[in-house]
């Protein structure tokens, strides 16, 4: 883990992540002021607009930095080095995922804290921290898994965007049939429920929605583990 944190700092991944989250929250605000022409932005509106940016544009925002953190090891032919220090495909991937998520979690918490302090409103802080973290975690796993299978960053980003567009189209076709593949998508049933919760005095989502999110994330992790299981040889070949 220490090696990956050092690489994150030396490769400017930490700085890029911080910049992306700052842009995410700023875009959430300016969409309200510039496009929706809202004269008085409430904290609920600010948070939900930022959440919308994260769910609708997050994959495009974060695809580069996630793919870069993994694919750079292929382009630099570093996989043999990882093998020599006792790493395997699982430890290689999950340490990188852990670093990306921990850094993202810190920036999310910082952003929510600053906004909450600005409005003196912490009523939905825990819920928002959970939702933003869940959204980003799915991106890290999905883009990270795709990057493990692709030889360079451009292909990884391209495949990730195709995946995102396909999931949006499928949810638009039928959220009952395909809703599980993109639960945070605006066309899905959970999206308006989150908006209603943020506009109310309720502090959290219903238990069914929380369980749904957890099951979705666990499913992604299981699929990822299966893909890694059958990609050991490919991982070595692409990185030496």
Q: What pLDDT was estimated at residue 50?
A: 96
Q: What is the pLDDT of residues 50-83, one digit of tens each?
A: 999 999 999 999 999 999 999 998 888 888 889 8
Q: Is 132 exposed, middle or buried (0-12, 13-18, 19+ CB in 10 A)?
A: buried
Q: What pLDDT was estimated at residue 235?
A: 86
Mean pLDDT of 107-117: 97
CA distance 137 to 100: 9
pLDDT beyond 80 at 240:
no
Q: What pLDDT was estimated at residue 177?
A: 79
C-beta atoms surrounding 232 within 10 Å: 12
3-state secondary structure of 120: coil
Summarize the chain as % helix, strand, coil (round to 5): 80, 0, 20
CA distance 180 to 204: 21
pLDDT beyond 80 at 201:
no
Quick one: pLDDT band at residue 40, thresholds 50, 70, 90? Answer: confident
% of residues, the chain, pLDDT over 70: 100
Which of 179-183, 187-191, 203-207 is predicted least confidently? 203-207
Average per-residue pLDDT for the chain? 92
- Determine contact, residues 228/92, Cβ cutoff 8 Å: no
* pTM exceeding the 0.85 threshold for the entire prediction: yes
Nearest to 240 by CA among 79, 84, 68: 79
CA distance 215 to 218: 5
Q: What pLDDT was estimated at residue 77?
A: 85
């Amino acid at each position: 883990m220490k090696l990956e944190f050092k690489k994150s700092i030396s490769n400017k991944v930490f700085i890029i992540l911080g910049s992306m989250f700052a842009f995410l929250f700023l875009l959430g605000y300016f969409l309200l002021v510039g496009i929706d022409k809202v004269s008085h932005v409430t904290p609920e509106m600010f948070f939900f607009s930022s959440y919308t940016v994260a769910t609708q544009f997050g994959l495009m925002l974060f695809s580069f930095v996630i793919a870069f953190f993994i694919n750079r090891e292929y382009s630099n032919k570093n996989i043999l080095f990882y093998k020599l220090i006792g790493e395997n495909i699982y430890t290689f991937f999950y340490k990188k995922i852990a670093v990306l998520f921990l850094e993202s979690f810190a920036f999310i918490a910082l952003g929510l804290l600053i906004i909450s302090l600005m409005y003196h409103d912490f009523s939905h802080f825990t819920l928002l921290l959970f939702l933003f973290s869940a959204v980003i975690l799915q991106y890290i796993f999905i883009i990270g898994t795709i990057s493990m299978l692709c030889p360079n960053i451009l292909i990884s980003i391209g495949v990730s965007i195709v995946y995102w567009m396909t999931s949006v189209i499928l949810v638009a076709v039928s959220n009952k049939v395909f809703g599980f593949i993109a639960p945070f998508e605006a066309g899905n049933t959970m999206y308006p429920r989150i908006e209603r919760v943020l506009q109310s005095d309720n502090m959290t989502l219903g238990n069914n929605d929380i369980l749904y999110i957890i099951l979705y994330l666990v499913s992604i992790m299981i699929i990822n583990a299966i893909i890694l299981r059958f990609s050991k040889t490919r991982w070595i070949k692409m990185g030496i």
